[in-house]
Amino acid sequence: MFNELILKRESCRNYNGEPVNTDLLIKCVDAARLSPSACNSQPWKYYIINGGENAEKIRDCIQPNGANKFVQNCPAFAIVTEQPATLKPAIAERIKDKQRWAQNDVGLSVAHYCLQAADLGLGTCIIGMVEEEKVREYFGIEDKIRLVIATGYSADEKPRNKVRKALEDVCVVIE
């Protein structure tokens, strides 16, 4: 069942434009909320945009110089921000960089979001090309913006074949 899900999840680049029920987007954020993080710091926040004028605004923020044209038919987005990590005091006093693991933690939560979306029949694409200043101007978000997740229904009937490195190229067993 899990292998079916990871094969189903892909970076969708062809949305059919059908609206997404906000409850489904909240389920995706709930799955992200439950992901693991260093010292249970949970250094993320999700801002959901679902249709309308705000969807037009976020598209403007993720299409610099004509990039990411495929989001034109995407109805919903999650802006993912990095929050200050709250480490346990015993760890915090020994670590100079309190945000040391925050990016990894955000990535784990985004993976949970995307896998939940795939399970719900939604397509996602993680977009790192974000004009932060425009996001701040349009939405008043002051947090560190890490990425945007385009979320909607794929116009394609089935996922593309995954082209990945061979297992032996990425896995070393040390005995």
Residue 84 lies in a domain: yes
In the chain, % of residues over pLDDT 90: 84
The number of distinct structural domains making up the chain is 1
Q: Which of 25, 38, 31, 24 is nearest to 109 (CA)?
A: 31
Q: Once rounded to an integer, what is the mean pLDDT over residues 1-28?
A: 96
In the predicted structure, residue 91 carries a pLDDT above the cut 80: no
pLDDT at 170: 97
Q: What is the pLDDT of residues 141-158, one digit of tens each?
A: 999 999 999 999 999 988
Query: Tokens 């929050």 correspond to what residue?
Result: 83
What residue type is 144 in one-letter code? K
Residue 175 covered by a domain? no
Q: Evaluate if pTM is beyond 0.85.
A: yes
**Tell me, what's the pLDDT at 99?**
82
What pLDDT does residue 68 have?
Answer: 96
- Within-domain flag for 86: yes
pLDDT of 90 reads 72
CATH code (residue 94): 3.40.109.10
Backbone angles phi, psi at 68, to 5 degrees: 55, 40
Query: 78: closest CA among 106, 40, 119, 41?
Result: 106
pLDDT at 96: 75
Domain that holds residue 125: 2-170
Q: What is the mean pLDDT of residues 47-67?
A: 96
